[in-house]
Amino acid sequence: MLVVLVELEIAAERMEEFLVHMREQARNSLTREPDCHVFDIARDGTRLTLYEVYTDASAFQRHLESEHFLAFDAATQPMTLAKHVRKFELV
């Protein structure tokens, strides 16, 4: 299993708008991607941490290429000040 941690810094004035998109993205990932097992969103002010679990690296790559991810990414890019992605093997 592949664990992906995404750390985001969101423009304060856009946070509520961003969260609408983020919650939809999490829901879409869990319902449309059989190899997405967990998609949690944690918030601390304007910082978000996403905890995602995929079957493997190929499943995560398919996630990145999915129509719903590409739409989410395009919509939220102007709201995102910083983004850092880390990948781990679940042990």
Q: Read off the pLDDT of residues 42-74 as tens digits, 9 standing for 90 and up.
A: 999 999 999 999 999 999 999 999 999 999 999
Q: Is 30 exposed, middle or buried (0-12, 13-18, 19+ CB in 10 A)?
A: middle
Domain boundaries, the chain: 2-89
Query: CB under 8 Å, gap of 24 or more: what pairs does 56-59 form?
Result: 56/1, 56/2, 57/2, 57/87, 59/2, 59/33, 59/35
CATH (one of 3.30.60.50, 3.30.450.20, 3.50.50.60, 3.30.70.100) for 2-89: 3.30.70.100
Q: How confident is the model at residue 32 (pLDDT cuts 50, 70, 90)?
A: very high
Q: How confident is the model at residue 39 (pLDDT cuts 50, 70, 90)?
A: very high
